[in-house]
Amino acid sequence: DAKTTQPPSMDCAEGRAANLPCNHSTISGNEYVYWYRQIHSQGPQYIIHGLKNNETNEMASLIITEDRKSSTLILPHATLRDTAVYYCIVRVNTGNQFYFGTGTSLTVIP
Amino acid sequence: KAGVTQTPRYLIKTRGQQVTLSCSPISGHRSVSWYQQTPGQGLQFLFEYFSETQRNKGNFPGRFSGRQFSNSRSEMNVSTLELGDSALYLCASSGDYAWETQYFGPGTRLLVL
């Protein structure tokens, strides 16, 4: 699976959009981009995933660049409860295992 | 639909002992994966079981083992515990296909003294 690079930490003001970047320059054509978050040592929570098209659900939007070498997770209106470590993962759709990197620690500031 | 459940939630053991952790997947899910999370190594994949068979395995010593029952519930066992085995152990369940999303349980926090 391709490796990902994320900034170690970010701050975001409450109510503003949080944009979390992820670089996956070695991604292969059959690898999906997944985002999970982990709040204070709870189990990771699934957020969203995509292959090449932008995706949106009730939690977030995922923007994948045309060359698929990077992506951005957007939390449209961050709340204090969004403070967590966010993991960007790329994985091929044949091996049922995720390789988590170090993630981005997002702090939402009141 | 109920989520992934793990028992026990907290456990304290001493070096040399063994431990068994349990995971009940989401109803209808037949794949169960196990992960170890430590401050130093982060989240690392241990193994995955599907239909009572180990389908994938991470890079952990043989002291770490698992099994899956016909109802898809899974257990993992760690024998001859070491201090470094202190960690949060997470299980995740997903459907039949490898591309399906994994959903994680709350984890079992193991402390080895």
Whole-angstrom distance, CA of residue A53 vs CA of residue A66:
9
* CB within 8 Å: B107 and A100: no
Q: Is the pLDDT of residue A93 over 60?
A: no
Task: Evaluate if residue A79 carries a pLDDT over 90.
Answer: yes
Question: B11 — contact with chain A (CB < 8 Å)?
Answer: no
CB B81 within 8 A of CB B21: no
User: A82: closest CA among A6, A5, A8, A14?
Assistant: A14
pLDDT in tens, B19-33: 999 999 999 999 999
pLDDT at B1 > cutoff 80:
no
Find chain A residues with C-beta within 8 A of B42's C-beta. 100-102
Model confidence at B112, in pLDDT bands (50, 70, 90)? very high
Among B88, B98, B103, whose Cβ lies nearest the Cβ of A96?
B98
pLDDT at B99: 63
Tokens of B30: 């037949």
Residue A34: its chain B contacts at CB < 8 A?
101
Residues of B in contact with A42 (CB under 8 A): 106-107
**Residue from the list B42, B48, B109 with its beta carbon closest to the beta carbon of A96:** B48
Residue A14 — pLDDT band, cuts 50, 70, 90? very high
